[in-house]
A and B are shown apart, each in its own frame.
Chain A
Amino acid sequence: MQYFLLLKRIPYVRNCREERYKLMTQKADRQHKVWDLQEKIGIYRNMLYKIALVQLKNSQDAEDVVQEVFYRYYEAEPEFANQEHEKAWFIKVTLNHCRGIWRSAWYRHSTSFPDQEPARESRLENDYLQKERNQALLGAVLALPAKYREVIHLFYYEDLSVKEICEATGRKESTVTSQLTRGRELLKRKLKEEFYFE
């Protein structure tokens, strides 16, 4: 009798172990995914938010886009050949998502850019002039058509090379180069030669 019970129990115990092992692996995988997401948020949060903000000119929409991009990353679990590829993926998905918002008929170019100047008052005329200049510069960038704004931001703020911009935007090198040139021309005209471009 005892012998029979033992025989019956062995597969049951084995099943339990397998189940527990499966659950533990799943839990560990999930935990690993969460840690990975946390790491990516730390690395790309600022970059993606600024890209989305400059594209959409609206802080709430920009935040939503970034949250969504990270969610898509978590869900899709994309694999990357290297860090550059990963960075390009994040930029690309962010830009695409921004375009998605642009596409919606609702989007009526409502600008709600957060105050770029911290609450710090200065009586110095120099500071005041600098603030004025900064506002003019930001205004000029935001007034650029989206395709120029995109490449100007990636080139001058993210320090991306033309090749990297091509990878992130899916455009040809000649297109990106001419968009950069045209964007610079428009900025120069707007800013009345107050700035020089490298």
Chain B
Amino acid sequence: MNNFRHSYKEILRQVETPEITVQSVLDEREQKKRKAAWRRKQFVAVAGAAGVFLLCMAGTVTAVNYTRSVIWTNGSGFSTMDEKSARMREAAEADQEPVVGGAATEGADEIIAEMELEECEATEYDSLDVLREENPELALAMPPLASLGDPIVSQFYMVMGTWVMARVETENKMFIIDQADYRRTEGHAASVVYPGGVCNERDYTTKQGFTYKLIDSRAEEDMPARIHAAVSVNGYELIVDFDGYTEAEVYQILEEMDLGVYFQ
């Protein structure tokens, strides 16, 4: 019998560590590359919603009178649809399977490729103040940063047309808002997929009177559950991901998010 500790050490000692230098750590270009890679990864996570944004942009942009979305959970995440299409879907559901749910899972890469072709302009920010300063008209129900935990390690905001993504990371937690503005579209359908599937569907109504649909997801069996919330407000759709937060903390943050900004 072999000693596990010795054998394990011996194997890992043979793995060479790549060269890491002060220059490579502090080099701005390297930093940007790392951040860009991280964003790409994050981007696919919200590709479902981004895909919808594309559909809207590609179609005729007309101000119509629909302001409501229908949000429901499927086995892998949230699906959202404008009210009219949702009614049509409901009627058709008896005959065939809905096609909306699987779109983002199967075609995330295609969506990204399509987005590159469409040349959507994305503006990135690393501070909420700068985002607000440069987009004074933008409605975004960010909770106070202090409510997200301490200390904040990184902030990232991206605005792409009518789609906005905000990500705030603390040492142990991550908070993401994925916001789509459908007020000037004829209709939409979207899904957001969480790897590992979702469970524990429930509702939470804030003191402001908005009802969020909540679900839990688990990327790996042994990973802690993440909580996701979705809400539709006056033509906007918000999907909020909480990673590392307890149920009570999630409710507290949802209370701190002022959805009244979407009516101003």
Contacts and interface: CB of A to CB of B under 8 A. Distances in A.
Interface of A: 34, 37-38, 41, 45-46, 49-50, 53-54, 59, 63-64, 66-68, 70-72, 74, 92-93, 96, 99-108, 113-114, 116-118, 133-134, 137-138, 141, 145-148, 156-157, 170, 187, 193-198
B222 A147 contact: yes
B5 A102 contact: no
B17 A157 contact: no
Contact of B31 (A50, A71, A102): A71
Contacts of B12: 50, 54, 116, 157
A103 B42 CA distance: 9
Interface of B: 1-5, 7-12, 14-18, 20-22, 24-26, 30-31, 34, 37-38, 40-42, 44-45, 153, 169, 171-172, 174, 193-195, 219-223, 226, 243
Contacts of A71: 25-26, 31
A37 B26 CA distance: 10
Nearest to B8: A156
A92 B14 CA distance: 24
A198 B221 contact: no
B41 A101 contact: yes
Contacts of B21: 41
7 contacts: A49-B17, A67-B25, A71-B25, A102-B223, A104-B38, A194-B2, A196-B1
A101 B153 CA distance: 15
B169 A137 contact: no
Given A45-B17, A145-B222, A100 B169 contact: yes
Contacts of B226: 103
Contacts of B193: 105
Nearest to B30: A67
A148 B223 CA distance: 11
A104 B45 contact: yes
Contact of B174 (A59, A92, A100): A100
Contacts of B4: 137, 156, 187, 195-198
Contact of B40 (A70, A101, A106, A138): A106
A193 B1 contact: yes
